[in-house]
């Protein structure tokens, strides 16, 4: 009887632990919001992007409407957009690799580091394989006119399992603000302020989609490196969108495309600020899911960045 009770107690403890573990990933039902991903057209990935690196690990599928990128012992892989943009709405439906993922980073981001290596701009959504558990972390980051040391990171747990199906990860970047969205829920807004204009990304950027080994950076100095026994790690990209102002270095002015079926311009009046519905949804995401913000990292910043005040 005592042995049976001990087994029951152990089972209950395991069940309780499993519930705690699962609750961190998907315990919540997100609020309803306007779906910005329905407002802009999808692009053909094989036409809108080039293979940036690890070409043999890049596959275009479904007539170019989908792409898979792989990380193995030899190389990661990545795509880079054919065009540079001065502003726009950029989105991808991403399904992350299943299984143990420590040290693996999947990124969907804007950057001009290739053109401005010492004072580049960058707007990142980085999906980090967790260092101890088999869940992922959503990290957002912004650089402006600087190096990686000037980054402004915020981290969130997803409210879903990102390996089971595709989920939307989106960036709205215009003259007024930069908004990071997950499944159309705004999780972060970075406002363009005249008080500190130099910290806002302003130079034309390309769009990137990558998977790579970030063991030294993303796992506490290499404490939990990528385990290549689980390779290849394959990420799927679909329903990619990029609408905005195309920067043509050969032209005297930027070629701002407004030929969306909806007629929406990502720098237009509709996108100067968040709606009340979006503000409420962002408040929900930040209260429930954000676990790190650079504005709360006093050991890192002796003087907090000006926008934190």
Catalytic residues: 122, 126
Give every CB contact of residue 209 below 8 A, 6+ residues apart in sequence.
49, 67, 69, 78, 79, 92, 107, 108, 237, 240
Helix (H, G, I), strand (E, B) or coil at 65: coil
Give every CB contact of residue 280 below 8 A, 6+ residues apart in sequence.
31
Give every CB contact of residue 178 below 8 A, 6+ residues apart in sequence.
123, 142, 171, 172, 189, 190, 192, 200, 201
According to DSSP, the residues that pair with 11 across neighbouring strands are none
Q: What is the C-alpha separation between 52 and 214, in angstroms, rounded? A: 17
Question: What is the full DSSP assignment across 149-217?
Answer: GG---EEE--SS-TTTS-EEEEEEE-SSEEEEEETTEEEEEEE--TTSGGGS--S-EEEEEEEEE-HHH
* Contact by Cβ (8 Å): 288, 196: no
What values do phi and psi take at 110, rounded to 5? -115, 140
Residue with tokens 């599928």: 61
CA 127 to chain centre: 6
Kindly report the length of the chain: 309
CB atoms within 10 A of CB 229: 7
DSSP letter for 128, please: E
User: Which two three-digit tokens encode residue 67?
Assistant: 């792409």
């Amino acid at each position: 009887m005592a042995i049976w009770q001990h087994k029951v107690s152990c089972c209950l403890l395991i069940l309780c632990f499993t519930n705690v573990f699962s609750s961190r990933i998907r315990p919540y039902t997100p609020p309803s919001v306007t779906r910005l991903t329905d407002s802009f057209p999808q692009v053909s990935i094989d036409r809108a992007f080039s293979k940036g690196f690890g070409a043999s690990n890049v596959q275009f599928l479904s007539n170019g409407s989908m792409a898979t990128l792989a990380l193995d012992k030899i190389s990661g892989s990545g795509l880079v957009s054919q065009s540079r943009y001065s502003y726009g709405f950029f989105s991808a439906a991403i399904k992350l690799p299943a299984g143990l993922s420590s040290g693996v980073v999947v990124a969907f981001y804007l950057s001009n580091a290739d053109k401005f290596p010492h004072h580049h701009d960058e707007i990142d959504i980085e999906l980090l394989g967790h260092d101890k558990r088999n869940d992922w972390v959503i990290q957002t980051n912004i650089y402006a006119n600087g190096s990686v040391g000037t980054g402004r990171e915020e981290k969130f747990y997803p409210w879903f399992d990102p390996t089971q199906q595709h989920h939307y990860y989106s960036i709205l970047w215009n003259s007024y603000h930069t908004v990071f969205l997950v499944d159309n829920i705004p999780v972060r807004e970075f406002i363009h302020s005249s008080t500190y204009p130099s910290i806002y990304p302003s130079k034309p950027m390309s769009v990137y989609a990558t998977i790579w080994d970030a063991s030294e950076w993303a796992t506490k100095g290499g404490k939990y490196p990528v385990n290549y026994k689980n390779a290849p790690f394959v990420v799927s990209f679909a329903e990619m969108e990029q609408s905005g102002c195309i920067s043509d270095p050969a032209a005297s002015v930027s070629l701002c495309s407004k030929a969306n079926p909806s007629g929406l311009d990502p720098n237009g009046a509709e996108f100067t600020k968040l709606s009340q519905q979006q503000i409420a949804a962002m408040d929900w995401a930040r209260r429930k899911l954000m676990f790190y913000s650079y504005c709360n990292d006093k050991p890192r910043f002796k003087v907090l960045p000006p926008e934190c005040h």
